[in-house]
């Protein structure tokens, strides 16, 4: 499956799993994804997010959290982007970055040494591009639904379970 078709398929899956009401808002789609995956998915505003970081997805053992910076002007775009990472099966931030965010600057080199692993930049760039494409397609579809009745496919999905 090509990069573009995987993204299109993921967007289609989101709307197929959503009820008619859920398919009219991003928060509704987030609820549908949580239900379908069988694990809580919380969206949280984070006033302490570092400068330059719009949002992030953290996968915990028992739940997922998508955080967005308080200052971000495009909350829905940021949340949709992180939702794309989840639905496209991405692995999230490298453990070294997470550790360095939590540790004092003087311990960053030690954390990098202890947690060294192969993380090719090409994979990260490809994942970011796919998540951006997902966010664009998802939000465009939501906007096209607007105040209209949700697509027939959502209603069929609801009727057929």
**Domain-embedded: residue 161:** no
Q: What does the pLDDT read at residue 121?
A: 46
What residues of the chain score a pLDDT lower than 50? 117-121, 149-154, 156-158, 161
Q: What does the pLDDT read at residue 139?
A: 96
| Contacts within 8 Å (CB) and 24+ apart, 13-20 | 13/87, 14/83, 14/87, 14/138, 15/141, 15/151, 15/153, 15/154, 16/153, 16/154, 16/157, 17/157, 18/154, 18/157, 19/154, 19/157, 19/158, 20/149, 20/150, 20/154, 20/155, 20/158
Q: What does the pLDDT read at residue 93?
A: 57
Give the total number of structural domains in the chain: 1
**Domain-embedded: residue 156:** no
**Domain-embedded: residue 160:** no
**Domain-embedded: residue 50:** yes
């Amino acid at each position: 499956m090509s990069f573009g078709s995987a993204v299109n398929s993921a967007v289609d899956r989101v709307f197929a799993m959503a009820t008619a009401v859920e398919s009219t808002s991003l928060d509704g789609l987030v609820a549908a994804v949580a239900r379908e995956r069988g694990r809580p998915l919380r969206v949280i505003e984070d006033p302490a997010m570092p400068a330059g970081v719009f949002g992030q997805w953290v996968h915990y053992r028992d739940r997922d959290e998508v955080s967005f910076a308080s200052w971000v002007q495009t909350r829905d775009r940021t949340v949709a982007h992180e939702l794309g990472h989840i639905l496209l099966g991405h692995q999230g931030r490298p453990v070294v970055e997470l550790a360095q965010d939590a540790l004092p600057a003087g311990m960053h080199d030690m954390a990098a040494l202890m947690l060294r692993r192969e993380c090719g930049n090409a994979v990260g760039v490809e994942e970011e591009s796919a998540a951006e494409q997902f966010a664009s397609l998802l939000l465009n579809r939501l906007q096209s639904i607007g105040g209209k009745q949700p697509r027939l496919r959502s209603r069929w999905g609801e009727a057929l379970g």
